[in-house]
Amino acid sequence: MSRGCLLIGAPASGSGKTTISLALMALLTAHGKRVQAFKVGPDYIDPAFHHLITGRHSYNLDVWMGGEEDVRRTFTRHSQDADIALIEGVMGLLDGVSSDSNWGSSAHVAELLDCPILLVLDIHAMARSAAAVVKGFQVLSGGASIRAVVLNRAGSARHGAMVKSAIEQETGVPVLGYLIHDASIVLPERHLGLITAQETRDESRRKLEVTAQILGESLDVEELWRVANQSDDHSKSVVVPRTPKSHLSKRPRVAVAYDRAFNFYYPANLDLLTQLGAELLWFQPTSGDHVPREATHLYLGGGFPGEYLADLVQHPDMLADVRHRVLCDQIPTLAECGGYMFLGEAIWSHGTRFPMVGAIPMETEMTPSLQELGYREMTVLTEGIFPFGSRFRGHAYHHSRIRRSNGLVSAYQVSSARAPLAPEGHGTSKLVAGYSHLYFPSAPEAVRTWLEQA
C-alpha cells in the first residue's frame, strides 16, 4: 500500500518538534487519516503522547540501539497499513552519535527511509534570518531532503507571512503554515521533558486538540499531503520477517509494572516478549496491586517513582509481596532505572526517607541535577537470567544516585557510545537490575533465555 511519510525535524531541542508533530497527528487523525507515529532516538515520553493522539503504539527508530536494518524493519512493519507515517525527530536534525557526521541523527533516519523532511523553525525574534537557517540545513543534510517548513512561535499572521516570503524566495522550500505563540497551549514539563501522557491525559488531549485547530487555520493540508507523498520507496525493499516461533515448553507469563510511576517501556521490547510466546500481565504498584500470582517472570521498567513515593509507601503489603516474589520465590526479574530504585531498601527525596521493596541492598536519592545521560552498551557480568557475556544496547537518563549500598554484585559492564564507563547495577542468578534501559531487539536470544527460565 502506498503511504505518505514525513520526518519532523528542527535545528535544536526546544524548537517545537513535539508540539508540531502532535498537532499534525491530531489534525490528520481528525481528517480520518490512519496516522502511524514514530520517534527517532531512545525517548519514552513523546511516543506515549503519539499513542494518546493516534490510538496506535509509536515505535522508536534508533540507529545506534538497533542498527539500520532494525530501523527499516520497524518502520515497514508498523506503517504498512497506515495512510501516513509521521516521524518525530530527536534533538537537532543533524545531531547524532558523532559531531563529524550525520550518523545516528534524524537526518540519517530520513535518508535510510527515503522520507521527506519537514523542518520546524522557532521564529521568535527572527525574520529574514530564518532563510539562512533553512539554507544551512539544505547544505549539510547530506542525502536527506528538506521538502517543507512549518513555523513555530510566530508573533502574528504578518510575522509568519514575512518569514514565509523570505524562506521561499531564498531556498525554494515551501512554508506550509505557522503556529501563533500561545502560552495557554504549552504542555507541562519536568526535567525529562513533558509530563507523561499517563499523568496528564485529559489536559494534554484538550490542549493538543486546540493546538491542532490553531495550526489548521494556516496550514496548507493539500501541500502537506503532496510533500509527504513525494517518495513512495520508504521501505527500501525490506522484507518484514515472520514473527519468531516460540519453542518454550511452557508459556511464560511476564508481570509488567505499568502505572503513573512505571511506564518507560519500548514497545519493541513488549512486542518481542509476545512474539517469543509470553503473556503480559499488567499491574499497578501505586494502586497497591500485588504481582499477579500466575506470573512466572517480573519486568519493572523505569519512570518516575520519585514523584509517587507517598503513594508507594501507602501499600506496605504490596512492597512485601514484591520482595517475597523476588527474594523467596526467585521469580526471574529484570528491573531498569526506576524499577531498580524501587527494588532498593529506600528512596530519599528532599531529606525524607521512603522505604521501598528491600530486595537490593542499597538506598538511592533523588537529585536536582542530571546524573547520567546517553547511549549505553551493557555486557552482562552474571550467569543468570541472561547468559554471561550477553551484550545489549540501550540508554540511560536519570536524576538520582546511589546514596548507600552494601554488597552490590554488578550486573553489567557498561560502556557509552564514546568511551568505557564502569560496572553497574546488581545481579544474581534470578535478578538483573541497573540504571540502564535495555533495547531488547539488540539481543533477542538473551531475552529468549530469560523467558526460558521459570
Q: Would you please indicate which residues are annotated as catalytic (active-site) residues?
A: 337
Largest interatomic CA distance in the chain:
70
> Are residues 5 and 85 in contact, defined by beta-carbon separation less than 8 angstroms?
yes
> Are residues 17 and 88 in contact, defined by beta-carbon separation less than 8 angstroms?
yes
**Given the C-alpha cell 519493541, which residue does it identify?**
268
What does the angle CA 190 – CA 195 – CA 201 come to, to the nearest 5 degrees?
165
Which among 144, 150, 83 is positioned nearest to 110, based on CA atoms? 144
User: How far, in Å, CA of 167 to CA of 175, rounded?
Assistant: 7
Which among 433, 423, 289, 414 is positioned nearest to 359, based on CA atoms? 433
Which among 182, 143, 183, 149 is positioned nearest to 163, based on CA atoms? 149
User: How far, in Å, CA of 427 to CA of 388, rounded?
Assistant: 11
Which among 127, 141, 231 is positioned nearest to 178, based on CA atoms? 127
User: How far, in Å, CA of 84 to CA of 93, rounded?
Assistant: 21
> Grid coordinates standing for 444?
533477542
User: How far, in Å, CA of 343 to CA of 71, rounded?
Assistant: 33
Which among 205, 200, 166, 146 is positioned nearest to 22, based on CA atoms? 205
Which among 437, 434, 418 is positioned nearest to 426, based on CA atoms? 434
**Neighbouring residues of 320: CB distance < 8 A, sequence distance ≥ 6:** none
What is the Cα gyration radius of the chain? 23
Alpha carbon distances (Å) from 306 to 256, 300, 315, 401, 404: 19, 15, 15, 12, 17
**Eight-class DSSP state of 155:** S
- Sign of CA pseudo-dihedral 14, 21, 439, 144: negative
> Are residues 225 and 429 in contact, defined by beta-carbon separation less than 8 angstroms?
no
Pairing of strands 297-300, 333-336: parallel
Region of 172 on the Ramachandran plot (φ > 0 left; ψ -120 to 50 alpha; else beta): left
Question: How many CA atoms within 13 Å lie on the side-chain side of 108?
Answer: 23
Give me the count of residues in the chain.
454
